Chains A and B, each alone.
Chain A
Amino acid sequence: MNILTVDDSRTMRDMLRMALVKAGFNVVAAVDGEHGLEVLSENGADVIITDINMPKLDGFGFIERVREDHNHRATPILVLTTESDPSKKDRARRAGATGWIVKPFHPDKLIEAIRRVAA
């Protein structure tokens, strides 16, 4: 399964990559929402994991743009966020997020969340 991660933090990208590769996924990483859209159109993805607070195009905007793209309307998107504010989660859901993972994530929880949204 191919997973696209979108996060402006190098630490977080490395952590995700480590956890996901260990679990047997293929991982492609993007550094912000705009980059995420580019990578998605080039490589596609079975599941997308995205951060919210990012420069250029934030997670909300990124999710909206992904959902506007006919090719990715049905691609599960998990929001990875440290936001404890429920309104942020609601906003991500309104934008079209499938589910969420709260940072700091435990690798098992991450894999479980992916399993819940991906066939």
Chain B
Amino acid sequence: MDELEEIKVTFFQECDELLGDLEAGLLILQDGTGDAETVNSVFRAVHSVKGGAGAFGLDALVRYAHVFETLMDAVRAGRMSAEQELVRVLLRAADVLADQVAAARAGSLPDEAATASMVAELETWISGGGPATSVEVAAPAPVVAPAAIDDTEGDDVDFGFTPMKIEMISLEPEPEPETAGAKRWTVVFKPSPSLYAKANEAGLLLRELARLGPVETTVDDSAIPNLDVLDPEGGYLTWTVHVTTDQGEDAIREAFEFVDGDCELSVTAAPDDDATSAEDDGFDIARLLAMATAEPEAPAPIPLSLDPLPTPQAATADVAPAAPAVAAQRQPAPAAEHAPVQATIRVDPERIDRLIDLVGELVINQSMLAQRVSAHGFAPSSDVAMGLDELEQLTRAIQDSVMAIRAQPVKSVFQRMPRLLREVASQTRKQARLVMEGENTEVDKTVIERLAEPITHMLRNAIDHGLESPEERIAAGKPAEGTVRLAALHRGGRIVIEVQDDGKGINRPRVRQIAIDKGLLAADAQLTDEETDNLIFLPGFSTAGVVSDISGRGVGMDVVRRSVQALGGRISIASTPGAGSVFTLSLPLTLAVLDGMVVDVAGQTLVIPLTAIIESLRPKPEEIHALGSQGSVLAVRETYVRLVDIGKVLGFRETPTPPSDGVVLLVEGEDGSRSALVADAIHGQRQVVIKSLEANYRQVEGIAAATILGDGRVALIVDVDALVAVRREPSRPTEPVLIAAE
């Protein structure tokens, strides 16, 4: 990829961020909590998209962004207030801008009609400061396909957009056509002190003039006062330059473009017959500069400094202070060009993935080493064991750092949602407001990429099925506008995403009936409310009449659940009739490593995720109470917790171990419910590298993944919630799980 193409990639990445900022800013304005800086940030976002687009000759995008920017500028300048109606227009304008960016990125043409009607609407606001009464305004400007960068020279003028580059040349009238070849001009130039205050230099301007053709320069120094009243930064000199050039007056004036207003300047054409006369006493520019150095007008604050001035500074004679010269002389650090001023570097993701894999292997290797060291009988206080401890800490630090490289805020996914909400709400004729929380919650990039689909689905579902129509809401005593809350948070070493609506909640009798009709549920089944709600995740629970193409898109909630489970995640729903529903999605923060407790169960080695474990205990027989024919509970302080024999649930053995003979791990599930898992023995805490069981074997209920232990054996990682859930459904047969222990 050539450099420019790479920058173009950067540009589109930046556009994504800018569009996110734009939307975020507009939503703040919509809330009515915005201030001047919010308006500024919205303006800047549009402005930056336009600036970058211009650099790549994306003319259609530039033109649209320009109209948008003009309106934002009016808001920014206070000529228009960011009232609700306008903000709604701006939000739609932002959507169109996103489409334009997407089209430019794909190299395709944006939707011409949508652009034209949006432009018309924006222009109505710009000119009249009010909503468009009719959108059938002027025909759209022809949409220009993205052109190569060099084509930016030819600016089309559309939508009343003054091409930006016009300032690059002088704003003077068009030059007269040059027909007579070289011509002699007289330029009289008297800098004002303000010229020097802006770091312009008379010497450089004269040098610029000398590029146009041969020059003869004289300087009038008669205005220089006596030293005691001389202002070192005053302008006392007047230069008269005769320049012979085949370029016109505009070229001469252009040389003084930057100092317009900071000098007195006259440019006059000499009679033609003078054109070739060159006088001997004219200065060349080198002599002029030499003279300027010796200029009495330029005393340094410390007169007659013996430091040799570097050549460039020689021309700054009029700007007397010596300090700038010293500053300019100072060399920056040798690596200045590559100084890490920009806080980001770009790395191929594959390299990071490779690094993460390697660190995973390092973790395994280090734990194998630890086991060998201990097998050889080294005391924990021995040099070897202590050195190994340090290695372990380092390994962990490396691992954390490597994982942090891939950690990103969920913002990138969240920022796509407001638009989705607007679109779905308008398709379903509902009024909805999105409240987002925890956008800066960080999670592994690989997890983020897979969050978008389930979140999209849950959000569609919340609007389409959750929220009622405005009329129904008003009838139910609710505001016409529904609220959907999208939140991200860290809980128990996982990332939890919640999508909550304040709609009607799940219609349980209906869901139950559908499940029975589909043969997914026995007609006489006794289900708790929670269990009923979660029926919607059952495979085959296609709510045909209910699933619209909006939330359904041909995909049932069971598919969403399966894709979430494949990531070691879980999805559940809790609903309150009349008050709304909450979808909760939880995923591991990373798909690479896990802190676990290694336990023995019926001769198998298992790993229980440490995040789920509250405490481990050795129960006394009197604390165990039978419950029903098979179950039993454990008295833990003031409460009773259900006992779950891991070996029995996973099919390792038929008869449960008496809990008082083993060890009990008190665990907490995603929903906060507690259970007591019975294991035979605890080996200790270990960090393990997650190896997918599905990729290497197949999915097993109650098991999240597998790992390789320090001694080379394979151990299964228990999915605590799933294990407990298996236990709750005793009717379902559990398959025995056998892993060849090497």
Q: Which residues of A contact B (CB under 8 A)?
A: 2, 8-15, 18, 21, 26-31, 35, 39, 43-44, 46, 53-55, 67, 70-77, 82, 84, 89, 93, 96-106, 109, 116-119
Contacts and interface: CB of A to CB of B under 8 A. Distances in A.
B199 A73 contact: yes
B41 A43 contact: no
A104 B342 contact: no
B372 to A, nearest CB: 49
Contacts of B166: 84, 102
B682 interface: no
Given A28-B341, A101-B168, A104-B51, A72 B327 contact: yes
Contacts of B54: 82, 103-104
Would you list the 8 A-B pairs with minimal beta carbon distance, nearest first? A119-B312, A74-B324, A104-B54, A99-B258, A11-B52, A11-B11, A43-B332, A71-B327
B339 A28 contact: yes
A89 B164 CA distance: 12
B167 A89 contact: yes
Contacts of B558: none
Interface of B: 3-4, 6-7, 10-11, 13-14, 40-41, 43-44, 47-48, 50-52, 54-55, 57, 152-153, 162-168, 197-201, 203-205, 208, 255, 257-258, 261, 311-316, 319, 321, 323-324, 326-328, 330, 332-333, 336-337, 339, 341-343
A28 B337 contact: yes
A93 B198 CA distance: 7
Nearest to B337: A26
A98 B204 CA distance: 12
A96 B165 CA distance: 22
A84 B162 contact: yes
B7 A46 contact: no
B199 A71 contact: no
A10 B7 CA distance: 9
A11 B197 contact: no
Contact of A119 (B6, B204, B333): B204
A102 B162 CA distance: 12
A52 to B, nearest CB: 9
Nearest to B327: A71
B51 A75 contact: no
Contacts of A30: 341
A11 B327 contact: no
B104 to A, nearest CB: 13
Contacts of A14: 6-7, 10
A102 B319 CA distance: 27
Nearest to B54: A104
B291 to A, nearest CB: 16
A2 B44 contact: no
B311 A119 contact: yes
A101 B169 CA distance: 10
A101 B51 CA distance: 13
A102 B261 contact: no
Which interface residue of B205, B258, B326 has the most chain A CB atoms within 10 A? B258
Contact of B164 (A27, A46, A97, A102): A102
A113 to B, nearest CB: 8
Given A74-B324, A82-B164, 12 more contacts: A11-B10, A11-B14, A12-B48, A29-B341, A77-B198, A84-B163, A84-B164, A102-B166, A103-B54, A104-B165, A105-B168, A116-B208
A98 B200 contact: yes
A31 B14 CA distance: 13
B152 A71 contact: no
A54 B44 contact: yes
Contacts of A29: 341-342
Contact of B51 (A9, A27, A43, A119): A9
Contacts of A104: 51, 54-55, 57, 152, 164-165
B47 A82 contact: yes
A26 B336 contact: yes
A74 B332 CA distance: 17
Contacts, number: 167
A39 B339 CA distance: 10
Residue from the set B14, B257, B326, B336 with the largest chain A CB neighbour count within 10 Å = B336
28 contacts: A9-B14, A10-B13, A12-B55, A18-B3, A27-B337, A29-B342, A31-B343, A43-B333, A53-B47, A70-B321, A72-B327, A74-B328, A75-B199, A75-B328, A76-B200, A84-B162, A84-B166, A84-B167, A93-B198, A97-B198, A98-B198, A98-B200, A98-B258, A99-B200, A104-B54, A104-B165, A117-B201, A119-B313
Nearest to A22: B3
Contacts of B339: 28, 43
Contacts of B6: 14
B200 A71 contact: no
B59 to A, nearest CB: 11
Contacts of A71: 323-324, 326-327
B332 A28 contact: yes
A77 B197 CA distance: 11
A10 B12 CA distance: 10
Contacts of A76: 199-200
Contacts of B52: 9, 11-12
Contacts of A109: 168
A75 B329 CA distance: 12
A55 B323 contact: no
Contacts of B323: 70-71, 73
B64 to A, nearest CB: 14
Nearest to A18: B3
B198 A15 contact: no
Contacts of B163: 84
A13 B378 CA distance: 57
Contact of B258 (A53, A72, A116): A116
B329 to A, nearest CB: 9
B73 to A, nearest CB: 8
Given A89-B167, A96-B197, A98-B199, A106 B324 contact: no
B14 A44 contact: no
A86 to B, nearest CB: 8
Contacts of B341: 28-30, 35, 39
Given A18-B3, A30-B341, A46 B261 contact: no
A55 B41 contact: yes
Contacts of B258: 98-100, 116-117
Contacts of B7: 11, 14-15, 18
B336 A13 contact: no
A8 B44 contact: yes
Contacts of B255: 116
Nearest to B313: A119
Contacts of A119: 201, 203-204, 311-316
Nearest to A97: B198
A113 B50 CA distance: 22
B198 A100 contact: no
B717 to A, nearest CB: 41
B336 A74 contact: no
Given A44-B332, A84-B162, A96 B315 contact: no
B476 to A, nearest CB: 44
A108 B336 CA distance: 23
B204 A53 contact: no
A104 B54 CA distance: 5
B203, B204, B255, B328: residue with the most chain A Cβ atoms closer than 10 Å: B328
